[in-house]
Chains A and B, each alone.
Chain A
Amino acid sequence: MPIADLPLWAEIAVTVFLVLGGLFGLVGSYGLLKLPDPMTRLHAPTKATTVGVGGALIASMIYIFASEGRVSMHELLITLFLVITSPITALFIAKVHIHLREKPETLPEPRDASGWASFTADGPAKGVRDMHPVEPGAPDKTA
Chain B
Amino acid sequence: MLSRFLPHPLLSLTLVATWLLLVNSLKLNSIVFAVILGLVIPMLTRAYWPDMPRLRSPLRAIEYAFVVLYDIVKANIDVALIVVFKPVRDIRPAWICVPLDVRSPEAITALASTITLTPGTVSCDLSADGRAILVHALHAPDPDAIRDDIKTRYERRLKEIFE
Verify that A and B bind, or say they do not.
yes
Give me the interface of A with B, judged by CB distance under 8 Å.
23-24, 27, 30-31, 34-37, 39-40, 42-44, 46-48, 50-51, 72-74, 76-77, 83-84, 86-88, 90-91, 94-95, 97-98, 107-112, 114-118, 120-121, 143
- Are the CB atoms of B112 and A39 closer together than 8 Å? no
- Are the CB atoms of A43 and B122 closer together than 8 Å? yes
Q: How far is the CB of B96 from chain A (nearest CB, A)?
A: 7
Give me the interface of B with A, judged by CB distance under 8 Å.
18, 20-22, 24, 72-73, 75-76, 79-80, 83-84, 88, 91, 93, 95-97, 99, 112-113, 116-117, 120-129, 131-132, 134, 136, 138
* Count of A-B residue pairs with CB < 8 Å: 132
Q: How far is the CB of B27 from chain A (nearest CB, A)?
A: 12
- Are the CB atoms of B117 and A47 closer together than 8 Å? yes
B129 and chain A: residue at smallest CB distance: A114
Residues on B with beta carbons closer than 8 Å to the beta carbon of A48:
76, 79-80, 83
Q: Is the interface of A mostly helix, strand, loop or mixed?
A: helix
Find A95's partner among B88, B120, B125 (CB 8 Å cutoff). B125
Residues on B with beta carbons closer than 8 Å to the beta carbon of A107:
95, 134
